[in-house]
């Protein structure tokens, strides 16, 4: 199987589109271009691919609506522009997808939302529910409340974090450059497009350069960092020119356009490695012999019925250790319930979770995708 065939087989993608593309280099939303990307994404959805869009452009659109010709330096003015521009940005996405009878949803995130484990899990649940309903989430950084300086490159990182969040197969970064070159193509006539590399290849750092460098206006350094972040959960990244005709469709068909950056391992292996290296556990679940067998031999999830007792204090989404009745650790993973909730449902069948807790976060105490045998 060729590496490019991964794009044809991907079932869940994050598509990040930069401000320079969406706003036609800052001149207001380029509705015609946005409509063409929507047409291609709609085709993906019709073929069973789930898509989340990470959309820049709110500040630039707000500046256009407010009649500002230069980017303000004051943070509160940038945040005001983002608030105004977000209205136009979301309305335009909604109108374009409506032509294909596809609903959209607005999701505004900050890095704090993704660093807090509980909010992280709630965000993941919401995004997965929207995808299950056939809705296209439009994600943007919540620029109206962030305290750091707003930068055009930030959404590259956000795109990678969203790819991690929903366990996407791949991240497509549409930019105003054709991809990553081995030299700055504006200075070197013999610059060649890097078509395919491992995301962790250290030679790429020199190619990315500093500032705008060889990678273009937003800085390809941010895009390279995003690719490496996405690779942690086994996702590939494509950095490609958004103005290439039929760019998303051509990528899906395996055309050699853009730069494909590949993870060192597949998605499942990468996630398992992350779990295995997550040294700090918050609690312990003592499990019976039957649970040990299904975890170690069957590759199954850990259900509440197989838990004998619970120790420690932990929150939903934190790492716990699973030990047998002799005290030997057999697995570790991310729990679906807080410690007190875990105690309440331990040893009980999954069909009683809602009755005992008043809600259900999952039939499993630890889903097999969030569990690794040690």
Q: Is 55 assigned a ligand-binding role in the annotation?
A: no
Distance CA 177, CA 217 (A): 8
Q: Is 116 assigned a ligand-binding role in the annotation?
A: no
Q: Is 183 assigned a ligand-binding role in the annotation?
A: no
Q: Is 175 assigned a ligand-binding role in the annotation?
A: yes
Nearest to 241 by CA among 252, 251, 254, 231: 251
3-state class of 191 per DSSP? coil
As a whole number of angstroms, the longest Cα–Cα distance in the chain is 71
Q: Is 16 assigned a ligand-binding role in the annotation?
A: yes
3-state class of 104 per DSSP? strand
Task: Give CA separation, 9 vs 1, 55, 229, 242, 249, in Å.
Answer: 11, 24, 21, 21, 13
**Strand locations in the chain, DSSP E?**
12-17, 50-55, 104-109, 136-141, 170-175, 196-198, 236-241, 259-262, 283-287, 307-312, 319-323, 329-334, 371-373
The number of residues in the chain equals 374
Inter-residue contact 200 to 266 (CB < 8 Å): no
DSSP state of 265: S
Distance CA 260, CA 237 (A): 6
Query: Which residues are paired to 12 by β-bridges?
Result: 50
Q: Is 187 assigned a ligand-binding role in the annotation?
A: no
Q: Which residues are annotated as a binding site for substrate?
A: 56, 143, 155
Q: Which residues are annotated as a binding site?
A: 16, 56, 143, 155, 175-176
Q: Which residues are annotated as a binding site for ATP?
A: 16, 175-176
């Amino acid at each position: 199987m060729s590496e490019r065939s991964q794009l044809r087989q991907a079932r869940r993608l994050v598509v990040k589109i930069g401000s320079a593309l969406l706003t036609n280099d800052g001149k207001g939303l380029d509705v015609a271009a946005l409509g063409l990307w929507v047409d291609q994404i709609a085709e993906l959805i019709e073929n069973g691919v789930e898509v989340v869009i990470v959309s820049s452009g709110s500040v630039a659109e707000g500046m256009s609506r407010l009649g500002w010709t230069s980017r303000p330096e004051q943070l509160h003015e940038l945040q005001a522009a983002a608030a105004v521009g977000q209205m136009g940005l979301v309305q335009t996405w909604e109108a374009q997808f409506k032509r294909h009878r596809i609903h959209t949803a607005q999701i505004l995130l900050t890095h704090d939302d993704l660093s807090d484990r509980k909010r992280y899990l709630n965000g993941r649940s919401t995004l997965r529910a929207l995808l299950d309903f056939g809705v296209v989430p439009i994600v943007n950084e919540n620029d109206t409340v962030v305290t750091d300086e707003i930068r055009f490159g930030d959404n590259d990182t956000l795109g990678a974090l969203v790819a991690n969040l929903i366990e996407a197969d791949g991240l497509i970064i549409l930019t105003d450059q054709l991809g990553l070159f081995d030299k700055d193509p504006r200075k070197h006539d013999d610059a060649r497009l890097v078509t395919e590399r491992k995301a962790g290849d250290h030679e790429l750092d020199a190619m990315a350069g500093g500032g705008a460098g060889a990678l273009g206006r937003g800085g390809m350094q941010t895009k390279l960092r995003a690719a490496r972040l996405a690779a942690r959960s086994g996702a590939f990244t494509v950095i490609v020119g958004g103005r290439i005709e039929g760019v998303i469709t051509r990528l899906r068909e395996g055309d050699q356009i853009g730069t494909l950056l590949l993870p060192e391992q597949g998605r499942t292996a990468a996630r398992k490695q992350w779990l295995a290296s997550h040294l700090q556990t918050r609690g312990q679940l003592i499990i019976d012999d039957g649970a040990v067998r299904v975890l170690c031999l069957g590759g199954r999830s850990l259900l509440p019925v197989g838990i004998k007792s619970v120790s420690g204090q932990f929150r939903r989404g934190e790492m716990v250790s699973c030990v047998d009745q002799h005290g030997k650790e057999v697995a570790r993973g991310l729990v679906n319930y807080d410690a007190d909730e875990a105690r309440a449902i331990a040893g009980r069948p999954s069909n009683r979770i809602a009755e005992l807790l008043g809600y259900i976060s999952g039939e499993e105490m630890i889903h097999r995708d969030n569990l690794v045998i040690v």
